[in-house]
Structure 1
Amino acid sequence: MNEPIFIVGVPRSGTTLLAAMMGAHSRLGCGPETHFFRGLLEVDVDRLCRLDSWPGRAVDFLFSIRHVGRPVPENYGICRQSLETCLARKTPGVDSILSALTETYALSLGKSRWVEKTPYHLLCLSQIRRHFPDSPVVRIVRDPRDASLSLSRMPWGGVGFMGALCRWKDWDSRSSHFFGSDGRAYTLRYEDLLRSPETELRKLCGFIGERFEDSMRDTARSCLHVNRMDEPWKRMSGRPLDESRVYAWRRHLSKTQNRMAEALLWERLKAYGYPVLGGSDGLRRRVYGVALTAWARVQKALQARPGGTLWVVWGGVGRGGDGAWLAKNVLASHIHGLATYFDECVWMAWPSERDPTMSVRVDPGAVRVIPLARGRLGSLANLLKAAILCRRRPYALLEMREALVLAPIMPLIKLLSRRTAVYAAYDYELAVEQGWDGWRGWVRILRDSPWLLRLLHQCVLGSADVVIARGRRLARLAKRVNARVHVSSPVSILAAGGAGPRADRRADAADESRRIIFAGRLERGKGLDVLLVAFRDMLKKHPGTSIILDIAGDGPQRSVLEEQVREIGLGGNVVFRGWLESEDALSSFFDRADVLVVPTSTHPEGLPRVIEEALACGVPVVATRVGGIPCEFDGDEVLLVNPGDSRPLAEAMGSILFDPPTRQRYLSGARRYGDSRRRRPSSIEQHALILRGDEERSLTCRGSSAPRRGAG
C-alpha cells in the first residue's frame, strides 16, 4: 500500500466532506474517526508494543478507544479476532496497530490506500509525523465564524459561540507552525472546495500522488463509510455541494458577535484571506481582543480544575429498613452507570416514605443522595443546596420537572457548572394545555397559569448548555429555544438491543392464549379505561378464543380499574401483575407477549420507553396518536389509532392478533427497529458523552482495560 493520508482540522471545518470526497476515489478508502493518537496520549507506548504481549494488548487498546459511545473497531465493523489475526502478521509498532484497523477496512472496500480522518488529530501532529514520517497530512480550514457558529449549535459542542471562537484560535495556533514548515503538509480552504471542487481536488490529488477522478465530487455513497454511525450533524457531507454554506455567518451573526470574532481573530482572518467588516486594525479592536482572550483563559482555567463531579437532580428515592436509600431499578441503574464516568456523583431526589417500586439499594460508595425538601421553606433550602453544589463546578443533569424547581437559579447553575444538561421526557405543551397535575415543588402554584408554565419551561430549556430530548417532537419543542438538542435512547433496564430478533411466538404457540400487554403507571390519562372497553369488544368478536390482557404496573387508578374489570365481566381475562423491576422479569414479560398496547388518552407522553423496549424485543405495538408517538413512528413500526376511542383500538388489537399479513407487517417493522437500536450506544453512554461536552472525544469509563501510562 502507498503511504496513508491523514485529514485534520478544527471541528465543523469540513473534514467529513473532504474525507467523503477522498473516499469516493477508486483507490482511497476512508472510515469513521479513530481518535487513535488521542488514545495514544494516555498509554505507555513501549509496553503497548512489547513482543511478549503482542498482539493482545494492542487489540485491547483499540477496543478501549471509544467514539459516539462505542469502541472504534465496532464502528468499523471489525471484530477482535480479525484484528488479532492481522496484527499477528505485523511487526509490533504504533503504525501497525492503526493500520490493522484502517488498512483492513480499506481492503474490505476494495481500496488499496487508506485515509484516516479525525479532527482532533490536529493537536497530535508530532505523533503522526513520528510514526508515519512520509504520510501526507491534509488540513481543511473554514472561516472561524462559520465553524464556531456551527460548533456552538452542536448537541455535543459544549461551548457557546465565544468558547468556540477561542477553541478555533487555540487549535489553529498550535498547528500553524507544522503546516508552515512540514513539506508533506497541505492546507486547503473549505470555501474554495465548495466553490471550485474540481480545481481544488486536482491540486490535492497532485499533492498526494493520485489521479483526479470525477467520482470524487459525488459523495452520496462514500459518506456512508465515513459516517457509519449515522451522526446527523454529518449528513450534509453526502448531499450535493451547496455554495450557500459559504459565509453563513453573514446571515446568522449579530454585529456584536462578529465584532467579538474579528477582535479575537483579526490576524488569522487576514492570513487566510477571509473578509473582515470592522475597518482598520485599530487600538480599540486590539484592546477588546486582549480583554476577550483574557476572559476566555479564565473560563478555560475554571473548566480545567481537577476532579469531575456529576450532579443529578431526577426522580425520587425512599428509605429502606436499615436506613439505606432505595430507588427504582431503572433510575438507580442509570445513575450508577453514569457515576462510573465521573470522579463522584451527587444525586438530589424527592424522598418518598412508601413506594414498593423503590427496591434497589443506592450504593453510597458510588452515589451520595441529597433529599429535596418540601414546602415553602423547603423550596428555599433546595435552592440553597443547589447553589452550594455549584461551587464544585459539576456536570449537571437535570430532569425537566426538577429543573423547573431550580429555575430561579438556573443562570447561576449554567455559569458555575462545567456543563448543564436538561433531560426532557414529557410533552410540556400538551401538559400545559390539558392542565396536567404532575408538577413538583413550588411550581404547582403555577398550574392555573398556562402561559407562565409555558414560559418557565422555555426559560429552563433555553438556559441549558444542551437538551437531551426523548423523541423528535420533544426535540422540535426544545429547538425553539435551544439549538443544542440531542435525541436520546430510552433510560431502560433492558440492554440496548433488547432480547434481539425472535421468531413469531404465534408460530410456535398456536394453542396458547394470546396475550396483550400493557406496562406503565396506572393513572388518569393513560387510557386504561378505554383499553378495557376495547378489550371486551374484541373478545365479543372472537368468541371461544383464549386472550389475556396482562397489565404490568401500579398506581392510584388500580382499584378503580379492578372494579371496572369486575363490572364488565373480564375477571378471568385480565391480570394485574404489579411492577416488574428486574431485567429478567421484564424480558420474560415481553417474550410471552403477542402485542403491546399503549392506549394513552391525555397523559403528556414524550416518547414512552416501553414502546422502544417492546420493539427491540420484537413485539408488535398498537399505540395512540398522543404527544411524541406519531412523530417518532410513522411507518410500519407501530400501528397508530386515535386516542379516547375504544372501537379503532379494538380493531387494531384484533388485526395484530388475527390477521396474518398485518401481524407480519408490524413484526417486520419491530425487527427492523430492534436492529437499528442495537447499533446505538446505550443511554448511559450517550448521556455521559453529552455531559462531557465533546462528541469528538473518546469516552472511557473508569476501569478501562487499556494499559495506562505508567501502569505496571
Structure 2
Amino acid sequence: MSERPIFIVGCPRSGTTLLQLMLHAHPRVAVPPETRILVQVYRARRGYGDLRETKNRRMLARKIAKGSRTQFGDLGIDADEFIRRAVEGPGSLGSVVGLVYKMFAERHGKVRWGDKRPPYIRHLDAILAMFPDAQIVHLIRDGRDCVASLKEMPWFQGDVYEAVHRWAEAIDAGRGHKLPADSYYELRYEELCADPAGSLGGLCTFLGEEYDPAMREPYRVADVVPEHKDWHTNTRQPVTTTRTGSWAQRLEPWEVSLCETVLGNRLTAYGYELSGAPAATRRDVAAYEKTSNTWKRKWRRVALTERINRFREPGPVAALLTDTQRELAGIVR
C-alpha cells in the first residue's frame, strides 16, 4: 500500500478544509490542521546547515516544535518526543519536516499522512524538493464563489482585486505544472459536494487507496480543526451544495463583471457558466492588473532566489522516511 505524502492545494476558500476532513476520515490517512512549517522551513534551510549533523537536526526540530507561529501545538504531538526522534532520524530537511506529519498520523492510528494549505499551490517546487514522491490534489471551486468568500474572511487583508488574483494565480499554477499523471489530480468542489462518493472514489483511485464510506461524513472528524477558526463552522455539518453559486447574492454587480471579464476564459475552461454580466470598466480592469502584476513580480523575485539557493544547498533536502523515498534517493538497504 502507498505511503506517498498527499498535499491539498488550491485558492483559499475553495473547500480545502472540507477535503482535508474527508481524507482524514479515511482509515489509512491522517491530514492535520494547517501549520506554518513546511514552506517556512524550506526557505530558511540554509540557516540550519547540513542536517546530517546531529546538532543541526536538533536546532531545526526545536525551531519547529517550540518556535513562534509554527502552529505545532495544534497537532497534539509531544514536542520533546518529536525533537528526540528528529535527532535520531535521517539527516535531511524533508525527513525532519515529514516526521511532524508522520507523528500526527501515528497519533491517529494511521499509516499515511497528508497536509493541507491552499498557498502550497505557489510552492510546488519546495514540496517536491522535500517529498519527490508527493501526490498533489488541486481542489478547484468557481472563482466567483472564492472571491465572495475571501471578502468575508477576518484574516484576508486584501481587496476584491487581490481576491480575484488569488484565484487566477491558483488556476495558472495548476495549469503550468509539469508533473506526471500519478502525481497531480484536479477535483472540482461543486462535484465533490454534489456527489461525494463518486468524486472521492476517483480521488482514492488516484491515491492508490480503497474508497471508504466514512469519507462522506467529514463532520465526524471535524474536531481536528481548531475551534478558534470559526470560519470553518460549515465543516461541522453534513456535506451540502447550498453554498454552490452563492456568489450571485454575495457579490456586487460590478464585482461579478470584474470576475467574468478577467477570469472568463479560466472559468469556462473548468465548466463554469458566465452570467452574461456587462464587461468590467477599464478602471476596474486596470486596478486588477496593477494588483496582479505586483504579486507576480514578488513571486518572480522569490523564484529567482530559490533557483540560486538550490546551487548552495547545505545538505540533503529530500525526505528519507519511507522505502520509496530512500529508493528515489538511491539508498539501497
Q: TM-score range by the shorter chain?
A: 0.7 to 0.9
Larger radius of gyration: 1
Alpha-carbon offset, residue 292 of structure 1: 4.1
Report the alpha carbon displacement of residue 146 of structure 1 after superposing the two structures with TM.
0.6
1:221-257 CA distance string (max 9 Å, x none): 32212x1354101121121111111011122222211
> 1:160 maps to what in 2?
159
Which residue is equivalent to 1:594? none
Give the 3-state SS of the residue equivalent to 2:49 in structure 1: helix
Aligned to 2:15: 14
Q: 1:257 aligns with which of 252, 255, 258?
A: 255
**Paired position in structure 2 for 1:293:** 288
Deviations 1:624-661 (CA, angstroms, capped at 9, x unpaired):
xxxxxxxxxxxxxxxxxxxxxxxxxxxxxxxxxxxxxx
By how many angstroms is 1:63 displaced? Answer: 3.4
Q: How does 1:204-215 map to 2 (within 5 A)?
A: 204-215=203-214
Q: 1:54 to 1:43 in 2, by over 3 A?
A: closer
Question: The residue matched to 1:139 in structure 2 has which SS?
Answer: strand
Q: Is the 8 A contact 2:151 2:159 kept in 1?
A: yes
Residues 301, 133 of structure 1: CA spacing in aligned structure 2 closer, same or farther, 3 A cutoff? Answer: closer
What is the aligned partner in structure 1 of residue 246 from structure 2?
Answer: 248
Aligned equivalents of 2:255, 2:234: Cα separation in 1: 25
User: Equivalent residues in 2 for 1:643-654 (5 A)?
Assistant: none
Displacement of 1:34 in angstroms is 2.3
Aligned residue type for 1:121? Y
* Pair 1:105-2:104 in alignment: yes
C-alpha contact (below 8 Å) 1:37/1:121 kept by paired residues: no
Count of aligned pairs: 299
Q: How does 1:583-662 map to 2 (within 5 A)?
A: none
| Residues 252, 259 of structure 1: alpha-carbon distance in 2 compared, 3 angstrom cutoff | same
Q: Structure 1's 62 and 204: CA in aligned 2 closer, same or farther, altered over 3 A?
A: same
TM-score by length of 2: 0.81
Change in Cα spacing, 1:51 to 1:303, as seen in structure 2 (3 Å) is closer
Offset of 1:65 from its aligned partner?
Answer: 6.1
Task: Specify every segment of 5 or more residues in structure 2 that has no aligned partner in the other structure, as ranges.
Answer: 300-312, 315-333
What is aligned with 1:173? Answer: 172
- Alpha-carbon distance in structure 1 between the residues aligned to 2:282 and 2:178: 29
Residues in 2 aligned to 1:87 and 1:303: alpha-carbon distance in whole angstroms: 33
Cα distance between partner residues in 2 of 1:266 and 1:5: 30
Alignment correspondent of 1:139:
138
CA contact (8 A) 1:263 1:285 kept: yes
Q: Which residue does 2:302 correspond to in 1?
A: none
The 3 A distance-change label for structure 1 pair 46 and 56 is closer
2: CA distance, partners of 1:78 / 1:13: 28
Amino acid at match of 1:36: I
Q: CA deviation at 1:45?
A: 6.6
| Greater RCO structure (CA 8 Å; 6+ sep) | 2
The one-letter code of the counterpart of 1:206 is T
- From the superposition, tell whether residues 245 and 179 of structure 1 become closer, same or farther in structure 2 (CA, over 3 Å): farther
Cα deviation digits, residues 486-532 of structure 1 (max 9, x gap): xxxxxxxxxxxxxxxxxxxxxxxxxxxxxxxxxxxxxxxxxxxxxxx
The structural deviation recorded for 1:273 is 1.0
Counting only pairs closer than 5 Å after superposition, residues 58-69 of structure 1 correspond to structure 2 as 58-63=60-65
Partner deviation per Cα, 1:240-290 (whole Å, 9 max, x = no partner) = 11111101112222221110111111111111111102279xxx6696785
Give the C-alpha shift of residue 302 in structure 1: 12
* Unpaired stretches in structure 1, ≥5 consecutive residues: 305-708
- Counterpart residue identity of residue 239, structure 2: L
Match of 1:186, SS?
strand
Residue matched to 1:56: 58
Are 1:37 and 1:124, in contact at CA under 8 Å, matched by a contact in 2? Answer: no
Kept in 2, the 8 Å contact 1:75–1:228? The answer is: yes
Between Structure 1 and Structure 2, the one with more helix by share is: 2
Provide the rounded CA distance (Å) in 2 between the counterparts of 1:252 and 1:260: 14
Give yes or no for contact 1:163–1:296 (8 Å, CA) kept in 2: yes
Q: C-alpha separation between the residues in 2 aligned to 1:164 and 1:31? A: 26
Structure 1 residues 101 and 166: CA distance shift in structure 2, 3 A: same
| 1:8–1:120 contact (8 Å) kept in structure 2 | yes
Matches within 5 A, 1:163-562: 163-178=162-177, 183-225=182-224, 227-278=225-276, 291-297=286-292
Task: Give the secondary structure class of the aligned counterpart of 2:45.
Answer: coil
Q: Are the structure 2 counterparts of residues 48 and 7 from structure 1 closer, same or farther at C-alpha, using a change threshold of 3 Å?
A: farther
Q: Does residue 86 in structure 1 map to residue 68 in structure 2?
A: no
Cα distance per residue 1:591-644 (max 9 Å; x no partner) = xxxxxxxxxxxxxxxxxxxxxxxxxxxxxxxxxxxxxxxxxxxxxxxxxxxxxx
Q: Is the 8 A contact 2:48 2:56 kept in 1?
A: no
- Structure 1 SS opposite 2:113: strand
The equivalent residue for 1:652 is none
For residue 7 of structure 2, give the secondary structure of its aligned residue in structure 1: strand
Aligned alpha-carbon RMSD (Å) = 2.8
Distance in 1 of aligned mates of 2:62 and 2:184: 31
Structure with the higher fraction of residues in strand conformation: 1
The answer to whether the 8 A contact 2:39-2:126 is kept is: no
Cα distance in structure 2, aligned partners of 1:301 and 1:131: 24
- Matching of residue 44 in structure 1 with residue 46 in structure 2: yes
The equivalent of 2:328 in structure 1 is none
Deviation sequence 1:82-133 (CA, Å, 0-9, x none): 1122213321112211221111111111111111111121111011122212
